[in-house]
Amino acid sequence: MRRSIRILVTAAAACALAVTALSTASAAPKRGGTADTDALLVAMQRDLGLSATQARSLFGQQDKAIKLDAGLRASLGSAFGGSWFDAKAGTLVVNVTDKARAAEVTKVGARAVVVEHSEADLTGIVGELDALAGKVPGAKRAESGKSSLTGLAGWHVDPRTNSVVITTLKGQQRSAALSAMDKHGAAVRYEQTDQAPQQTFNYLDGGDVINGNCSAGFNLRNPSTGQGYLLTAGHCTSTGQSNYGQGGVYFGPTVSSWFPTYDDALIRNDNAGYWVQGPWVDYNPSNGGYINVSGYSDSPVGTTVCKAGITTLWTCGYITAKDETVTYDTGQTIYGLTRHSACVEPGDSGGANVAALSVWSPEGVTSGASLLFGRCLSTFGFTNVSWYFPIADSLSYYGAVYGVTVW
């Protein structure tokens, strides 16, 4: 009997027990052609309140903003106070601590705001909090030690307010260790949340179906050997675990998984005769539309991102915080997450998050969200709070260890 060829796509079809949402094609592998962007444009209009024209214009605006951001970070040096993308104006906003340097920002087409604190100073405060939470200073990846922080949901640098925002859980006692933050004065501010962050995988109990509890992220490969890999969330799979795609077909073992402290995992494709990989992001139903992705990005606050997942499919939102340390309701702390406002629900974990640039650009894999009754907050009229682990961090680590790159 002739065996049909299947395609591994990067985003959100069914996955077994741990991870690899893998999508199938009914006949031949997808080899280029016109990518299906209609679903994403519809999601952008629905979730962000944009017209079709506004949604399309964001692509070029955000592409320009990210290039300006990289250049200004380098040229401003210690005077750089953070940045964010103003989606309504379509402009990058750059904070500077030296008024005399503002002209450098406006000259290249960004908007300058004079602030008190440099990004380096604010990042240093985050580092103090991370150390209190058990992060080993200077270690690229290390297991967390014992945390002296309790009652917190997370903390991050907020470029819009030029401060470090510490999110506390309503009704819980503030940790005594936070008194060390008082010395920073107005550089630190507090907010409260009713919903503790949660990982967005489906819980697996005895007798439950194992397929469909997580989503796939991005296809990676070692260009020297041709070996293919899949990137997904670390809490979706454990090192050494076998992983299966749609239809329960074996994909391969997890060669490295990080959770907690970080939240990504790399799965090796040991069934390349069945699963064909490429630069694709699919969405459930997994034989439906797909998009081509290219390169990767680590976009600033305010940038539009869309995510694919087996539960909520394509949803879109804005990046609202970068490099946030988050403590999930299980007590596990994760560093370096990107917060955004797209709807994320259980089953979406590990799925692809992409930025709307001149090309669809990989941003990271879904980690978790604040939920009410297992649903994203927008279901009840609130702004979504969701997180993904940045692919830039994943490639920095796995590229050095396994030689992987984006497709």
361 is known as an active-site residue: no
Out of 63, 130, 263, 264, the active site residue is: 263
Beta strands at 304-307 and 352-356: parallel, antiparallel or unpaired: antiparallel
Out of 63, 69, 215, 235, the active site residue is: 235
Please tell me the distance from the alpha carbon of residue 360 to that of residue 187, in angstroms, as a whole number: 35
Out of 83, 256, 341, 349, the active site residue is: 349
* Three-state DSSP state, 96: strand
Beta bridge pairs of residue 163: 158
**Residue 130 contacts by C-beta under 8 Å, 6 or more apart in sequence?**
325, 335
In angstroms, how far is the first alpha carbon of the chain from the final one? 32
Which secondary structure element, helix H or strand E, spans residue 131, and what is its range?
Answer: helix 119-132
Half-sphere exposure of 274 (CA within 13 A, CB side): 15
Which burial class, exposed, middle or buried, applies to 237 when counting CB atoms under 10 A from its CB (0-12, 13-18, 19+)?
A: buried
Residue 25, CA distances (Å) to 267, 282, 348 in order: 21, 11, 21
147 is known as an active-site residue: no
263 is known as an active-site residue: yes
Please tell me the distance from the alpha carbon of residue 329 to that of residue 369, in angstroms, as a whole number: 11
Residues 87 and 304: beta-carbon distance below 8 Å: yes
Which burial class, exposed, middle or buried, applies to 19 when counting CB atoms under 10 A from its CB (0-12, 13-18, 19+)?
A: buried
**Catalytic residue annotation:** 235, 263, 349
